[in-house]
Amino acid sequence: MGRHHTRHTQHTQHTQHTQHTRHTRHTLVSSAPPEALYDLAADVGRWPAVFAPSVAAEYLERGERTERFRLWASVGGEVKTWVSRRERDRAGLRIRFDQEESAAPIASMGGEWIFEPLPGGGTEIVLLHDFTAVGDDPDTVAWINAALDRNSPVELAALARIAELATGLGAVPGDLVFSFGDTVTLPGRTAQEAYAFVHRADLWPERLPHVRRVELSEDAAAGVQEMEMDTVTADGSAHTTRSVRVCVPGRRIAYKQLVPPRLLLGHSGRWEFADTGAGAQVTAEHTVAVNPAAVREELGAGASLADARRYLRDVLGRNSRATLELAGRHAG
């Protein structure tokens, strides 16, 4: 089922121009068609569920071919954030990106995704980066190169894996990686109160019946939380999850599950909070990447991908709604 037969040809070339702009190139050959790979890379909203380094993404502008977004990603063991502008060219199977504001020690960063169709079928994925370092410091340049050499092959492999799994099933990547959400209004509550309930996850063991233990650490200045949680499901089985969360006070908490359950290749989500005349309006959204190899093992011999989609929609949606219902009782 969607056997993975990617031929890895990852390599890096580091060169230097007189302006001290460095260039890297990472490549990978995939059996998936270029359009499937392009479509997956083109949808930034799905990145946190697809790419291990990506934590959260927020669109700022979306046009037919251009877009701006803020991305949070793990770089060198820290969560960094930056704003990027992209030009998408589906006909040419290329996506150009440039950071409008970079995170130190990166002074500037840009690059391109290129999806080259191969004569015998399949695609060569090329990921180019060009960057400058703050102060042009050699140690900083080495740090940035090391981060690109670590993250780029991981991103290429993740893109290829999902596109190949989908192709092997006669599906498209959107059948494996999809989003859904629920919106709940909490009468008599403010967005700030509802936000505080979700933000203070360290208090969940005394507030949420299915949560047994939470360990929470927070970098308040960066708005980044790291969280480990023990939960018990309706059938009595226990699960431990680890997540990183990005918090925008009173407005949004985006999260990424670092070690997803076997049925998932990736899971990210976000809580959105807004005030209305009827009370706090909270939207809980999930983006998941299904692991087709685990569907029958987890859901039974006759289970299909469609069954897995329904199951995830039901279970994750129910958990979020239960949390919000309790937030409505506890807030304030």
Distances (CA, A) of 116 to 87, 155, 174, 220, 235: 17, 17, 21, 43, 48
Contact (CB, 8 A) for 213 and 230: yes
Residue 112 CA, distance from chain mean position: 19
Model pTM? 0.88
How far apart are alpha carbons 182 and 8 in whole angstroms? 40
Predicted confidence at residue 76, as pLDDT, reads: 76
Predicted confidence at residue 275, as pLDDT, reads: 97
* Ranges of the chain whose pLDDT falls below 70: 1-19, 331-332
Predicted confidence at residue 120, as pLDDT, reads: 92
Predicted confidence at residue 239, as pLDDT, reads: 86
Q: Which of 46, 315, 303 is nearest to 155 (CA)?
A: 46
Tens of pLDDT along 270-319? 999 999 999 999 999 999 999 999 999 999 999 999 999 999 999 999 88
Predicted confidence at residue 16, as pLDDT, reads: 46
Tens of pLDDT along 258-274? 989 899 999 999 999 99
Q: Which long-range contacts (CB under 8 A, 24 or more apart) does 249-257 make?
A: 249/195, 249/199, 249/223, 250/191, 250/192, 250/195, 251/191, 251/195, 252/58, 253/195, 253/198, 253/199, 254/48, 254/55, 254/56, 254/58, 254/72, 255/56, 255/227, 256/48, 256/49, 256/54, 256/55, 256/56
Predicted confidence at residue 11, as pLDDT, reads: 55
Query: Strand pairing of 224-232 and 106-117?
Result: unpaired
Predicted confidence at residue 189, as pLDDT, reads: 92
How far apart are alpha carbons 93 and 85 in whole angstroms? 17
Q: Which of 304, 307, 33 is nearest to 168 (CA)?
A: 33
Six-digit token pair at 305? Answer: 């991908």
DSSP codes joined into one string, 35-47: HHHHHHHH-GGGH
Predicted confidence at residue 17, as pLDDT, reads: 42
* Three-class DSSP category at 301: coil
Predicted confidence at residue 10, as pLDDT, reads: 53
Contact (CB, 8 A) for 48 and 55: yes
Residue type, 249: P
